[in-house]
Amino acid sequence: MSAEAIHGEEQHDVVIVGAGTAGVSCALECFDIQLDAVVLEADERPGGQLVEIVNSVRNVAVGTFRDGPAVRDSLEEAAAILSHRLRLSHPVTRVDLGDRWIEAGPHRIRGRALVIATGTAHQQLAGAEDGAFGGDVTSLLEARSGRFVGRDVVVIGGGDSAALDALELAREGSKVWLVHRSDALTARHDIVEQVRREKRIEQLARWELESVDGSDRLEGVTLVRRADGARRHLEAGGLVVKIARVPRTDLVRGQLELNRKGAIIVDPTMHTSCDGVFAAGDVVAGAYARVAAALGQGSVAARSVLRYLQGEN
């Protein structure tokens, strides 16, 4: 099935928004089953959040990768077969799910079906946006490699990423406060045990960030304990924010059913509440944030699109 111009618009079988793991997996499956698909991605390279994974990736059956960027390289190599169908540096600015078209800059592209694979984004804390205080506030520690060596650092979050960053900072000689709102860390058991054994890490459970202070550089943070209103000031030269990510659904909000966290609700075939619109990957409600899961969901979405289009004919 080939693309054709309709009233100055492009027309395709499938338009996929997002070229992360799920989006590329969906596109490759569409290519294999001879659906005319186009993938639109805002970034210069495919892979989405893969670049943020600093640990080895061992739970993908096709091989072991030293880190997320290595997985991205492999994904990019596989995606080369898509050729012009993969359009990088094409941020989507408008979406009409009912009429099934999207706009990327001056281009309007219509699909007989749409697949939303936009992933998630870092959640920002008021007054502590990523890159503030000359980079002393960050959500991606590896991007500031070596910056905090020997400096006292506050890490916000209780999951795997926060705990691993705290351990890395401690190994580099920092005093680390690991701050989280819950009664206990939610990280994997083995990681929690490492944190407990590390003398340079102090856990502060049931505390939250209230404010930050400094001028050109970060000088300290103030924490609050909501249960009793207690406050505590910590002098710190770094703040690493690793709280729960949020689904990238601003473009489709109000056009399909989302859960209370803003993630897209789908049925087992990855079909959303809007006819002819599918979703895959971390943007989906209840998604298991793993590379293998995103690969599988992308493939399922493509097959579901095929069945949907066959039903139209």
Residue with tokens 């997320």: 68
> How do residues 269-285 score in pLDDT, each as one tens digit?
999 999 999 999 999 99
The rounded Cα 37 to chain-centroid distance in angstroms is 23
User: 3-state DSSP: the chain helix, strand, coil percent, rounded to 5?
Assistant: 25, 30, 40
pLDDT for the residue 145: 63
- Whether the pLDDT of residue 5 is over 60: the answer is no
Distance, CA of 186 to CA of 190 (rounded, Å): 11
Largest CA distance in the chain: 67
Give me the mean pLDDT over the 138-154 stretch: 82
Look over the chain and give the mean of its residue pLDDT values, rounded to a whole number.
90
> How do residues 25-56 score in pLDDT, each as one tens digit?
999 999 999 999 999 999 999 998 887 776 77
For residues 199 and 181, the answer to whether their CB atoms sit within 8 Å is no
The rounded Cα 41 to chain-centroid distance in angstroms is 14
DSSP 8-state secondary structure symbol assigned to residue 36: -
* Structural domains of the chain sorted by starting position, each given as residue range(s) with its CATH number in brackets: 4-121+245-312 (3.50.50.60), 132-241 (3.50.50.60)
pLDDT for the residue 127: 76
Give me the mean pLDDT over the 4-14 stretch: 71
Number of neighbours of residue 286 by Cβ within 10 angstroms: 9
Interhelix angle 68-79/21-32, rounded to 10 degrees, is: 20
312 dihedral zone (left: phi>0; alpha: psi -120 to 50; beta)? alpha
> For the chain, how far is it from start to end, CA to CA, in angstroms?
13
pTM above 0.85, yes or no: no
Distance, CA of 144 to CA of 165 (rounded, Å): 12
Burial label, 117 (beta-carbon count in 10 A; 0-12, 13-18, 19+)? buried
> How do residues 149-194 score in pLDDT, each as one tens digit?
889 999 999 998 899 999 999 999 999 999 999 999 999 999 999 9
pLDDT for the residue 3: 45
pLDDT for the residue 144: 63
pLDDT for the residue 289: 85
